[in-house]
Chains A and B, each alone.
Chain A
Amino acid sequence: MGPAKLEISNLTKAYPGVLALDDFSAVFDGGKVYALLGKNGSGKSTFVKCLSGAVIPTSGEIRIDGVEVNFKGPADANAAGIAVVYQELSLILDFTVAENIMLGRFPTMGPGSITVDWKKTNAHVQDILTSLRIDIPVTAKISDLSVGQRQVIEIAKAMSLNPRVLLLDEPTSALARHEINSLLEVVRSLREKGVAIIFITHKLNEIRGVADYVTVLRDGRMVGSVPIDVATPKVIVDMMFGETTLQNRPADLKVGEEIRLKVTNLRRRDKYEDISFDLRAGEILGIAGMLGAGRSELLRGIFGADAIDGGAIVLNGTEVKRPTVKRMKDLGLAMTMENRKEEGLIQIMSIEDNLCLASLNEVGQRGFLSHFLQAPVAEKWIGRLQIKVSDALQEVQSLSGGNQQKVVVGNWLNTDPKVVFFDEPTRGIDIVAKQQVFQIMWDLSRRGLSVVFVSSELEELLEVCHRILIMEAGRFIGEVREPENTPIETLYAMCMGETAK
């Protein structure tokens, strides 16, 4: 079979009151990788849903290799040769790689037999992995693999059906840089097979090495497709947003003298050790490092979310031996969790409730609480943080990622903290929402609050922080004192442990 061809003509999907896709037309050729970009709400996910058969378009045509297709459900899309790999993994953790890939279509010992032929299963999966240049044992349990390896297996599973079109929906959002590289390697090997690959992502940088074209969606319409070599960040951002300017840390943010948080020789077995640092009033301290370096674990330890094995923490002049969330909160520490959906918010509760969660006792009066006490609090943070909400009593899960993140931040700012930890606050949110999160951090600094900012996006750290500590394998291995004068390559090299100092 030659290279595939996916043609989309005048695709439109109307929801009550919104045109999620508005007369969208595009051609995707096999053997090419298309990076599909667009901010939240631009219609990307509706496009994916139309192609995967999850929703039925209002009008328009989809043609694969010249043949028009109509999907009534995901099974139709699969049969027509479209495979989708989602951000959330669908693998069964207790099964092996081979079991997961062949699930639902195990080869048997012969016609009519109900006994699974494990030898054939493993051999077949081995062939698939080899052809994709994936070096993971077929008998490995998924639970023993890293998140990056699981994502790769997810792609292999999709590819085992020999699709003509492969959609990757933000496959890298949870991965560290070296894991992203091995995933991109797999994508490159797929390109050689003539598959049309649509790669959806928020990250402009990581697509450079793999994409042939950058395709941009805005307000449900196709803005354009440009070859990767002319797609400078300026071009892409202009296409995505019309007009925007990237910001740098304002010059007026000064680090004070007073030490707000002093950590000495903190350790937790197998997670981190020998951790010491000071955090001053008004300071924004970044912590850089690869996934698994122990950054989140460290913040969680100080915050009291997980136990620590030893070391000293002095917060606002009070020494804390065994931190608990309640105690640290009362002493003025706040933390927005990396995993906002599962650990930061209660999805089925209202926006209003989620904004009061960490300060229920303060919002309430002598144990009594009501909508009339909560509503002003919710109004206040919705206004200050510019959370886009039509009704504060809606469930928080109805909000976009960026707005959910702002609810998490508002929830914690309402505890009136002195020190705020932000753990990957910009993950999965669009550039405008990111800039707003940076603004929040800068504003906290301006008011003399201290911030610790953990991010996998090194350019964000350089853009936002006064100082960056680099963590590797549970230890601090370096420090950047002047982020504004440090090129990203230097920081990247330090994170890889190349110029540890």
Chain B
Amino acid sequence: MTTTDTTGRTGNQAARRAPASRPFFKPSDFVLEAILLVIIVLLAFTAPGFASWDNAMNILRNAAMTGIIAFGMTFVLILGEIDISVGSGLAFHGCLLAVVTESMTNAGWSAETAVAIGVLLCFGIAILAGMFTGWVRHALAVPTFITTLAWMAAFRGGAYLLTGSFPVTPYPEWFFFFGSGAIFGIPFQAFVFLLVFVVTWFISRYTVFGKSAYAVGGNAESARLSGINVLGVRMAVMSMIGVFTVLSAIMVSSQIQAGNPTVGVTWEFTVITACVIGGVSLMGGKGRVWGTFVGVLFLSIMLNGMTLLNIDEYWQYVARAILILGAVLIYQVQAMNARRG
């Protein structure tokens, strides 16, 4: 019989033991990246105009709008929750910003002040809405699907009510930079997209909060009984996606130069599609921000390539379906193989 020592006398010995060997690079971890690479090469040769700087920037610009929200959605899905209100949220925040800007400039405020106040108001509402969703989920066990279904209706309705269903166009020239401007030839959105990617990637890998989110998504009861602030994590994550939705709304408004209540329809599904392609599990506890990053690019490049190849828009829907199912099937087979050892 060996004795078990909890005083730590053998701790150093254990620490000195060589770490278990694990392959640094596993090809099976990079299936998605490899497929994307192949597609890029194929499109470069077949799609007219695909392999050009302008087209690459075009792809980035389009990817950025949904991509920013997808990073928030990654955390929501890791938590085992869902947010289907982001498309309507996009419209609502865009309209709110436009209406606030319009009324304040009409009342004699400067456009700068008006936009700043409008943005702060949007952030405030998004954060409060997210906190409410997280709290209702936690305290009353209302699924986030239901709560965000309600938000979806409320935001869309709010967007129409605020604008009287017509686009509102109060913005000064400088505001259009966020949607159409570029720095060193790279669209402004791309920088925001990359910034949000780096920040969320860092949070997911190198913070207590990120680890807590995985824990709550993996098993909320175990997390609670380990003293993790489950309510706090839920409220923070649901607020975070709201904040990213507002960022996206600002850039969309800037690009279309208006607050328009009809934007963002079915965006929630595009966003979730990107996450799923990137390997984020809807069961919670699993998913990588990097995966979502690749998923967003994958989706944008596919759609861009098909448009350049003059493929009918209806066929593009079919391609999307194949993409989602194909990705999920590959991940499931991989997971099953891993389980079998």
Could you tell me which A residues sit within 8 Å of B by CB distance? 15-16, 244-245, 247, 305, 325-326, 329, 335, 337, 342-349, 353, 356-358, 360-361, 364, 367-370, 375-376, 379-380, 382-386, 389-393, 411, 413, 432, 435-436, 439-440, 443-444, 447
What's the least CB distance linking A440 to chain B, in Å? 6
* B185 adjacent to chain A (CB < 8 Å): no
Given A380-B15, A383-B15, A346 and B208 touching (CB < 8 A)? no
Residue pair A305, B225 in contact (C-beta under 8 Å): yes
* B218 adjacent to chain A (CB < 8 Å): yes
For the complex with contacts A364-B207, A380-B11, 13 further pairs of A-B residues with Cβ separation under 8 Å are: A305-B225, A342-B219, A346-B285, A358-B227, A360-B212, A368-B206, A370-B206, A380-B14, A380-B15, A384-B7, A384-B10, A393-B22, A436-B4
Residue pair B222, A345 in contact (C-beta under 8 Å): yes
What's the least CB distance linking A352 to chain B, in Å? 11
* B8 adjacent to chain A (CB < 8 Å): yes
Task: Identify B1's interface contact among A247, A382, A383, CB under 8 A.
Answer: A247
Provide the bound-state CA to CA distance between A432 and B1, in Å. 8
Residue pair A346, B223 in contact (C-beta under 8 Å): yes
Given A348-B286, A443-B5, A325 and B226 touching (CB < 8 A)? yes
Residue pair B15, A347 in contact (C-beta under 8 Å): no
* B297 adjacent to chain A (CB < 8 Å): no
Number of A-B contacts (CB under 8 A): 127
Collect the chain A residues with CB atoms within 8 Å of residue B4's CB. Answer: 384-386, 436, 439-440, 443
Collect the chain A residues with CB atoms within 8 Å of residue B225's CB. Answer: 305, 325, 335, 337, 343-344
From residue 185 to 229 of chain B, which have CB atoms closer than 8 A to chain A?
205-212, 214-215, 218-219, 221-229
How many interface residues does chain B have, given as a range? Answer: 35 or more
Residue pair B227, A325 in contact (C-beta under 8 Å): yes
Provide the bound-state CA to CA distance between A367 and B2, in Å. 38
Provide the bound-state CA to CA distance between A19 and B5, in Å. 32
List 23 A-B residue pairs with CB atoms under 8 Å apart, sorted by A's residue number. A305-B225, A342-B222, A346-B218, A347-B218, A349-B214, A349-B285, A357-B215, A357-B226, A358-B226, A375-B19, A380-B11, A380-B15, A383-B13, A384-B4, A384-B5, A384-B7, A385-B4, A385-B6, A393-B22, A436-B2, A436-B4, A443-B5, A443-B7
Please give me the residue from chain A that is nearest to B209 by CB atom.
A367
Collect the chain A residues with CB atoms within 8 Å of residue B27's CB. Answer: none
Provide the bound-state CA to CA distance between A389 and B229, in Å. 29
* B341 adjacent to chain A (CB < 8 Å): yes
Provide the bound-state CA to CA distance between A413 and B223, in Å. 16
Provide the bound-state CA to CA distance between A357 and B223, in Å. 7
Collect the chain A residues with CB atoms within 8 Å of residue B7's CB. Answer: 384, 443, 447
* B26 adjacent to chain A (CB < 8 Å): no
Task: Identify B14's interface contact among A245, A329, A379, A443, CB under 8 A.
Answer: A379
What's the least CB distance linking B299 to chain A, in Å? 26
Given A379-B17, A384-B8, A443-B7, A347 and B227 touching (CB < 8 A)? no
Provide the bound-state CA to CA distance between A329 and B227, in Å. 7
* B20 adjacent to chain A (CB < 8 Å): yes
* B3 adjacent to chain A (CB < 8 Å): yes
What's the least CB distance linking A244 to chain B, in Å? 7
What's the least CB distance linking B312 to chain A, in Å? 41
What's the least CB distance linking A99 to chain B, in Å? 27
Please give me the residue from chain A that is nearest to B286 by CB atom.
A348
Residue pair B1, A245 in contact (C-beta under 8 Å): yes
Residue pair B211, A353 in contact (C-beta under 8 Å): yes
Residue pair A447, B6 in contact (C-beta under 8 Å): yes
Collect the chain B residues with CB atoms within 8 Å of residue A346's CB. Answer: 214-215, 218-219, 222-223, 285
Residue pair A353, B6 in contact (C-beta under 8 Å): no
Could you tell me which B residues sit within 8 Å of A by CB distance? 1-8, 10-11, 13-15, 17, 19-20, 22, 205-212, 214-215, 218-219, 221-229, 285-286, 341
Residue pair B208, A347 in contact (C-beta under 8 Å): no
Given A343-B221, A345-B222, A379-B17, A443 and B227 touching (CB < 8 A)? no
Please give me the residue from chain B that is nearest to A247 by CB atom.
B1
Provide the bound-state CA to CA distance between A367 and B211, in Å. 10
Please give me the residue from chain A that is nearest to B221 by CB atom.
A343
Residue pair A357, B222 in contact (C-beta under 8 Å): yes
Residue pair B222, A380 in contact (C-beta under 8 Å): no
Provide the bound-state CA to CA distance between A17 and B215, in Å. 32
Residue pair B222, A369 in contact (C-beta under 8 Å): no
Residue pair A361, B219 in contact (C-beta under 8 Å): no
Provide the bound-state CA to CA distance between A411 and B219, in Å. 15
Provide the bound-state CA to CA distance between A317 and B227, in Å. 21
Residue pair A360, B222 in contact (C-beta under 8 Å): no
Collect the chain A residues with CB atoms within 8 Å of residue B341's CB. Answer: 15-16
Collect the chain B residues with CB atoms within 8 Å of residue A440's CB. Answer: 4, 6
What's the least CB distance linking A89 to chain B, in Å? 19
Given A326-B229, A346-B223, A360-B228, A379 and B15 touching (CB < 8 A)? yes
Collect the chain B residues with CB atoms within 8 Å of residue A348's CB. Answer: 218-219, 285-286
Collect the chain B residues with CB atoms within 8 Å of residue A247's CB. Answer: 1
What's the least CB distance linking B23 to chain A, in Å? 11
What's the least CB distance linking B13 to chain A, in Å? 6
What's the least CB distance linking B220 to chain A, in Å? 9
Collect the chain B residues with CB atoms within 8 Å of residue A432's CB. Answer: 1
Provide the bound-state CA to CA distance between A432 and B3, in Å. 11
Provide the bound-state CA to CA distance between A346 and B212, in Å. 11
**Most B C-beta atoms less than 10 A away, residue of A326, A337, A367, A384:** A384
Residue pair A353, B215 in contact (C-beta under 8 Å): yes
Residue pair A342, B5 in contact (C-beta under 8 Å): no
What's the least CB distance linking A402 to chain B, in Å? 12
Provide the bound-state CA to CA distance between A146 and B87, in Å. 48
Provide the bound-state CA to CA distance between A16 and B210, in Å. 36
Residue pair A364, B208 in contact (C-beta under 8 Å): yes
Given A348-B286, A369-B206, A392 and B20 touching (CB < 8 A)? yes
Residue pair A357, B228 in contact (C-beta under 8 Å): yes
Please give me the residue from chain A that is nearest to B6 by CB atom.
A443
Residue pair A383, B222 in contact (C-beta under 8 Å): no
Provide the bound-state CA to CA distance between A390 and B22, in Å. 10
Collect the chain B residues with CB atoms within 8 Å of residue A16's CB. Answer: 341
Residue pair B14, A383 in contact (C-beta under 8 Å): yes
Please give me the residue from chain B that is nearest to A393 by CB atom.
B22
Provide the bound-state CA to CA distance between A45 and B274, in Å. 41
Please give me the residue from chain B that is nearest to A342 by CB atom.
B221
What's the least CB distance linking B339 to chain A, in Å? 9
What's the least CB distance linking A96 to chain B, in Å? 27
Collect the chain A residues with CB atoms within 8 Å of residue B221's CB. Answer: 342-343
Please give me the residue from chain A that is nearest to B8 by CB atom.
A384
Collect the chain A residues with CB atoms within 8 Å of residue B210's CB. Answer: 369
Given A367-B208, A384-B6, A343 and B15 touching (CB < 8 A)? no
Provide the bound-state CA to CA distance between A378 and B22, in Å. 16
Task: Identify B22's interface contact among A325, A347, A370, A391, CB under 8 A.
Answer: A391
Task: Identify B205's interface contact among A326, A347, A370, CB under 8 A.
Answer: A370
Provide the bound-state CA to CA distance between A368 and B204, in Å. 10
Residue pair B208, A368 in contact (C-beta under 8 Å): yes
Collect the chain A residues with CB atoms within 8 Å of residue B208's CB. Answer: 360-361, 364, 367-369
Collect the chain A residues with CB atoms within 8 Å of residue B228's CB. Answer: 357, 360
What's the least CB distance linking A224 to chain B, in Å? 23
What's the least CB distance linking A301 to chain B, in Å? 13
Residue pair A326, B227 in contact (C-beta under 8 Å): yes
